[in-house]
Amino acid sequence: MPYKARRDFIWLILRPWILIPRLIYILTSTLILIIRFLLQGSSKDKKIQKQLGVYLLNTIAKLGPCFIKLGQALSTRPDLVKKEWLEELTNLQDNLPPFNHKLALNIFKEEIGDSTENMFDYFPNEPIASASLGQVYKARINSKCWVAVKIQRPNLNHIISRDLVIIRSICWFIGPFLPLNLGFGLDEIIDEFGTSLFNEIDYEKEADNAERFAQLFKENKAIEVPRVERLISSKKVITTSWIEGTKLKDRKTLIEQKIDPTSIIRTAVISGLQQLLEFGYFHADPHPGNLFALNGKTGSLGKIGYVDFGMMDSISDKDRTTLTGAIVHIINKDFKLLAEDFQRLGFLSSKQNLNDISPVLEEVLSGVIDKDVNSLNFKTVTDKFSNLMFEYPFRVPARFALIIRAVVSQEGLALRLDPQFKILRFAYPYVAKRILTEENEELVEILMDIVFDEMNSIRVERLEGLLEVISETSNNPGRELLPVATNGLKLLLSNKGSKIRKKLLLSLIKNDEFNLGDMRGLLQLISRKFSPLNLSQNKNWNV
């Protein structure tokens, strides 16, 4: 049954015997938690902080699936949550108390139509992991084939519907008093979350998601996706091949398994960027319980196994292209174009005068970028924007709720493996390569914004910056730059490259005279970057 906010509200309001006790419990638990953190949160005593972490974990776990999802997001943010609390919150990922084993077996039989004894060569007496929506068993079929069998917790439809109505009502009531300027109401963001949660408890949709995700990465040897066993799957049971790997808990654990944490970060971030900016279909819940590090490497990339495809989302082609441009405009400090990006994405009203916003963006972001582009991470940007969102007419479109959650979780996961991680150090080379090689009309427009100024002069230094950032982040710059040169030449000679060719010709003619200065600079750049000596050099790049 799909999520319907109005229907569920009417359903619950007509059942005060369900609504009132649950509302009192949520408000009481939350209030006690807030009071305890106000009294003890600043204590230097590690024992007290550990106790607070345990109390936080227990409170969230008892409040149920909707609250556990929030806790899982917090468990990926070592930059936001104290270490002692973080250690406890990681248990929300796959170490929650399981529900009754006999009940799980009954659910399996009702859904599949046969018992676990008949369907498997071996089925354990207890789950290997237990999370917010279900618990997982490691079973065996066909003598040697190990599989993961996830069985859903009972009554989830009722529990989630009830709690979403209450959370939505509380946010509607307190929203006007919060120092937020979201533009779209908190209730719309909760509705987005609610829709994704109801999709997540439909395991038939999860099976479809897993197969679609596997298809997108079928040529990528660095990404492993479990195979769905359709004959042993249903709406409340999903069976997939077993992925044997190491949880992305911390750097030390990976090193002990002889796995390079940096290569794992690189794969996680690049695959995340591919999902968001290239495929337009992404895993919206990439916490450490859903990603596993596998042994082996593919070039500079480590191997990762993705699991749990319940919370997925899509992004439109228009938004994907605009986000790509926004990354470039941040790097190049094109704040007027960045303001236009925000407007296209819906963070600014279509009626907003961008001449008023551009100086504000420059004031907020310029200082950070001037220090070091590679020091810019998502938290730095959001910290800078927190005051801006309240003082100026910025808003968060509801459709970006899961995107922001995914990016925050992705960066938080990387920070667990490397506290010095900076997301743009990985993101910008990927974006630069796409802009220089893809025959996408919108990306060609972004490329022209980078390479040519308003007078049609070639900005050689910016083009060099794009090439530099690609080669700097590779152990073998020649291997990275040669495809860029080949694809760039193909783009220039293609139909979609006609605008670039026109701009190049215009750069040669200034004031009715030939101007070879720009072209000379471009040819010198090509000579420097693509000389046999430069292409044959190897570099070691450390994060």
Judging by beta carbons within 10 Å of its beta carbon (0-12, 13-18, 19+), is residue 371 exposed, middle or buried?
exposed
Catalytic residue among 202, 285, 334, 449: 285
Question: Three-state DSSP class for 67?
Answer: helix
- Our answer to whether residue 114 is catalytic in this structure is no
Q: DSSP alpha helices (H): ranges in 14-82?
A: 16-40, 46-63, 65-74
Distance separating alpha carbons of residues 166 and 21, to the nearest angstrom: 11
Pick from 1, 299, 295: nearest CA to 156: 1
Angle at 91 between CA 52 and CA 148, to 5 degrees: 170
- Report the C-alpha gap between 82 and 158 in whole angstroms: 34
Helix or strand holding residue 514 (H, E) = strand 513-514
241, β-bridge pairs: 147
Neighbour-count burial for 27-40, b at 16+ CB within 10 Å, e otherwise: eebeeebeeeeeee
Rounded Cα distance between 535 and 538, Å, is 8
How far is 4 from 21, CA to CA, in rounded Å? Answer: 22
CA distances from 450 to 98, 311, 363, 456, 507 (A): 54, 36, 21, 11, 14
For residues 219 and 199, what is the distance between their CA atoms, to the nearest angstrom? 27
- Hey, which residues does 136 pair with through a beta bridge? 129, 150
Task: Identify which of 438, 407, 437 has the alpha carbon closest to the alpha carbon of residue 423.
Answer: 407
Residues noted as catalytic:
285
